[in-house]
Amino acid sequence: MTVSDPDSTANTDSSGGKVAPPTLPSGWRGYARQIGPGIFAAMTLLGSGELVDVAVAGGNYGYALLWGFALVLLSKFFFMFMTSKYQLLNTDQLTIMQGFAKLGKPYPLLTGLGLFLGIFAYGSFYFPAAGTALAQLAGFGGEDWARFIGALATLILAVVTLKAKKLYQAVENVSRLTILVLALTFLFVAIAQAPAVGEFLRGFLFSLPADTGVFGSILIIVALVGVAGVTPAAIVYNYAIYEKGWRSHRYRKVQVLDLLVAITGVAIIDFSIWAVAAENAHGKGFAISGVDDLSRLMHSAVGTIGPPLLWIAVFFASFSSIIGTIFLFSRTVVDAIHNAFPTRRDRYGKIDRDPIVKWLSGLGLTLPIVFATPWAPSTVVLAVVAVTIPLISTPVMLLGTFRLTASAKFLPQRFVRKWQSAVLLVLIVLAVASLGGAAVGLYSTIATIFG
């Protein structure tokens, strides 16, 4: 990927085509029109998997783990803030993977490996969830064949979307629609519950309840971190802002605002569905072990309108994640490969000229369909497993970000902040600890389910 001069009259996108640089915004309307990359990345990472994880946490533990998810959102914002800081403020105009390459081949290689696995791990949940949602909306209930047909319909719709002429604008618009649908849906349902505000607020005070059901409290927190925290998947935000055309320090202000808006939108969605699950499932013998249970949860909350609202939300969340994963992950992985193996970069130049992009896109769209078949495991199991697998490269990614942002060797001295570096060090320690917890929790979950 060749990064063009941010002050030139035109940028190049990942395929090498000329792209007019966005006009710097002025006034709140100007800033509002520029908002988009953060929403695109957030909806890619959100998926219906996070809705399941949040509902499981709320249903099993009530409001007791809200503090953990609040920390997840803060860590997600901070990590994306730091990686985008490097990409926009480094004087050589390098992408984050190009920066990792300056530290040594293992950095882009291992980070790319986590994202490569994520393409298939996340898709293995997104396609069955989208297929189930379409089957339910069409009136076929939980029929396995209907889920498979729904997944195939989702595949066709994804292919059509990914062939749009103005591809980035198309997928960004899908993400904007998705966050609007999800936020309005779950906020409406949460308000309709008249939740206990005092209990909700107390949930932000630290507490660790006893394990409930198949999923231990530690595994739930790790799963949430995997979806919304400092997973390698969060690094794709840098490629969303690159495709948007934000290539220099001049766009830092609007980029930070963009990220704040995206994180706020995710918070509204997740805290709303958490409240619905806490009010209607916790302590009432209502176990959440599949997407169908979420439908019953919504029916319990707001009556017959609940299930259709849920299935619409699940489809939008899954579909947005599918096209985002294919678009952003494939480009990020190829940029990692190009920087780990410079001879391949010299051979193909631009990312989209490398056939690996098409191979990853094709395989990422087709292989996960297998998990929409009748013999596939529970979607809740898929959600937890999918967000845990890519964590293998988290420590390397965090260490790389720390090195790039903590030294004047890689960033101008005026942009280096000691307190930010200290926070990154804390995240590195937590990430290493989380890997141990994830391994133990994942083994326990699989052993419990399969006996």
Q: Along the 451 residues of the chain, how does pLDDT read in single tens digits?
A: 433 333 444 565 555 555 567 777 778 888 888 999 999 999 988 876 678 778 888 888 888 888 888 888 888 899 899 999 999 999 888 999 999 999 999 999 988 988 888 888 888 888 988 998 999 999 887 688 898 999 999 999 999 999 988 899 999 999 999 999 999 999 999 999 888 888 898 888 877 665 544 455 565 555 555 444 677 778 899 999 999 989 889 999 999 999 999 999 999 999 999 999 999 888 787 877 667 788 888 988 889 999 999 999 999 999 999 999 999 999 999 999 999 999 998 998 888 889 999 999 999 999 888 888 887 766 556 655 655 666 677 788 889 999 999 999 999 999 999 999 999 888 777 777 666 655 665 566 556 555 5
365 — phi, psi (to 5°)?
Answer: -90, -25
Tell which residue, 380, 188, 348, has the closest CA to residue 269: 188
Residue 323 sits at the vertex; the CA angle it makes with 321 and 326, to the nearest 5 degrees, is: 105
Would you tell me which CATH number, out of the four given (3.50.50.60, 1.20.1740.10, 3.30.420.40, 3.40.30.10), belongs to the domain 11-450? 1.20.1740.10
Determine contact, residues 39/240, Cβ cutoff 8 Å: no
Determine contact, residues 262/46, Cβ cutoff 8 Å: no
Q: What is the 3-state secondary structure (H, E, C) of 330-374?
A: HHHHHHHHHHHCHHHHHHHCCHHHCHHHHHHHHHHHHHHHHHHCC
d(CA 45, CA 324) in angstroms, rounded, equals 8
CA distances from 256 to 125, 232, 241, 324, 423 (A): 30, 20, 11, 20, 18
Prediction pTM value: 0.85
d(CA 196, CA 140) in angstroms, rounded, equals 36
Helix ranges (DSSP H) in 62-143: 66-89, 96-103, 106-137
> For residue 326, what are its two tokens?
């294919």
Q: Where are the domains of the chain?
A: 11-450
Tell which residue, 374, 394, 391, 294, has the closest CA to residue 53: 294
For residue 18, the cross-strand partners are 12
Residue 351 sits at the vertex; the CA angle it makes with 347 and 354, to the nearest 5 degrees, is: 55
Phi-psi region of 16 (alpha: psi -120 to 50; beta: other; left: phi over 0): left
